[in-house]
Amino acid sequence: MNIRIGNGYDIHKLVRDRPLILGGINIPHKLGLLGHSDADVLTHAIMDAMLGALSLGDIGHYFPPSDPQWSGADSLILLSQVNGLIQEQGWQVGNIDSVVVAEKPKMKPHISQMQDNLAQVLQLEPNQVGVKATTNEKLGPVGREEGICAYAVVLLTQV
Ligand SMILES: [Zn+2]
């Protein structure tokens, strides 16, 4: 089999006095995401999808919250490490599709920069990295702006 699929999901809590970082972009907002690393929920979902495609476990296994070395870590650097792991096993990303679910702020102005950032780290063309955004129609914890979540699917192809 020369293609593999993976899916990833992540959610982080929104709190005061934290930056809001999504796809490596610091987005101006009154609330930011809480987490041990920079809490980039989109990048985390993508990493989990990449690992899942090869049954390599999840990001908590490689970058445990208990390890101080990952405190405040730039998730794009973690993404690059996950990509290295995939490449060591003889695979590369074919394409990614992802969705950020956030009530606020507006994601649209930042989407293309997120695609560029992620594509650059993964050595892909931006059109191989789909990033979409939606609200949760004010429903549930995401709708109440208590957190932001992200979903990703990744197709890997054998090098
Ligand atoms: Zn996370």
Per-residue confidence in pLDDT tens, the chain, 159 aa = 799 999 999 999 999 999 999 999 999 999 999 999 999 999 999 999 999 999 999 999 999 988 999 999 999 999 999 999 999 999 999 999 999 999 999 999 999 999 999 999 999 999 999 999 999 999 999 999 999 999 999 999 999
Burial class (CB in 10 A: 0-12, 13-18, 19+), 50: buried
Q: How far is the CA of 11 from the centre of ligand 1 (A)?
A: 6
User: Under CATH, which number does the domain 3-158 receive?
Assistant: 3.30.1330.50
Q: How far is the CA of 123 from the centre of ligand 1 (A)?
A: 22
Residue owning tokens 């920069």 = 113
Question: Strand pairing partners for 111?
Answer: none
Number of Cβ atoms within 10 Å of the Cβ of 36? 16
Q: How far is the CA of 33 from the centre of ligand 1 (A)?
A: 9
The ranges assigned to domains in the chain are 3-158
Mutual angle of helices 41-53 and 111-122, in 10-degree steps? 40
Q: Is 59 left (phi over 0), alpha (psi -120 to 50) or beta?
A: alpha
- The pLDDT value given to residue 37: 94
Write out the DSSP string of 81-141: HHHHHHHHTTEEEEEEEEEEE-SSS--GGGHHHHHHHHHHHHT--GGGEEEEEE--TT-HH
